[in-house]
Homo-oligomer: A and B are copies of this chain.
């Protein structure tokens, strides 16, 4: 019943209208694992870091039940580093620095202990690496979900299409869904993407919520209208972590359970943006999460007035 998470484990320097943070812990693998850890305790992480990655954050991840046996440490190298500055609307950002460092020649090794995982979440990484991970698993997981980004559509589209054929669930944002299909209508984009491989598609729309397409059905989860968005970094990965963590906990991938998983993912993302980096994801309680879920339920609930 374990969940295998593969993704970047990184250091980020961020600037938002609310402040700056230097070399804090980030990366898709980190956000996914932390968010999922609130739902399932059998999380096996695969990734790579350098000697500059803070031990205190590794300790915290282990305390949250995240197995780091598959996290390679290259002591004399540096961790993947990204630096970005958000515009005042918080929806757009400029990348200032990207240093691949240890991620440049990342060779994902799957510890023997990790074999037999039931669920695999491929965080945003080069499609060739995502494919390697799938190929190195002795038995195919029951469900494989993946994230990707426009960068790979520009630079490695054929590789990306290869991986898409191998997965069950794709999680992308609206502009990525449009770029991948050349369709502006998200309904049409969803139809095209499900022809590429994944039977389930989630389109994240940031502050505008998320759409779930599966089994010829569609579900819409709103985003919570927030007074302040402090730092959007990692919100998409946190969504993915909450989503897959919830499904792994429930061991059920029916449409009805996936609807719930999208709401839980949205709730986790709404926490993520309230503080810098992973800060908020370190301190949540089960009660915090349930209270937020109730806010989502209230936000869209209405009793039909008979006319």
Contact = CB atoms under 8 A, between A and B. Distances in A.
Interface of A: 39, 88-90, 184-188, 205, 208-209, 211, 218-222, 225-229, 246, 249-250, 252, 256-257, 259-260, 263, 293, 297, 299-300, 302-305, 307
Contact of A300 (B185, B219, B257): B219
11 contacts: A88-B184, A185-B228, A205-B208, A208-B209, A209-B222, A211-B225, A222-B222, A250-B305, A250-B307, A256-B303, A263-B302
A307 B39 contact: yes
**Top 9 closest pairs, chain A to chain B, by CB:** A208-B208, A259-B302, A300-B300, A260-B305, A220-B222, A187-B227, A220-B299, A187-B225, A185-B227
Contacts of A208: 205, 208-209
A80 B88 CA distance: 38
Contacts of A205: 208
A218 B222 CA distance: 12
B90 A184 contact: yes
A246 B306 CA distance: 11
Nearest to A183: B227
A220 B256 contact: no
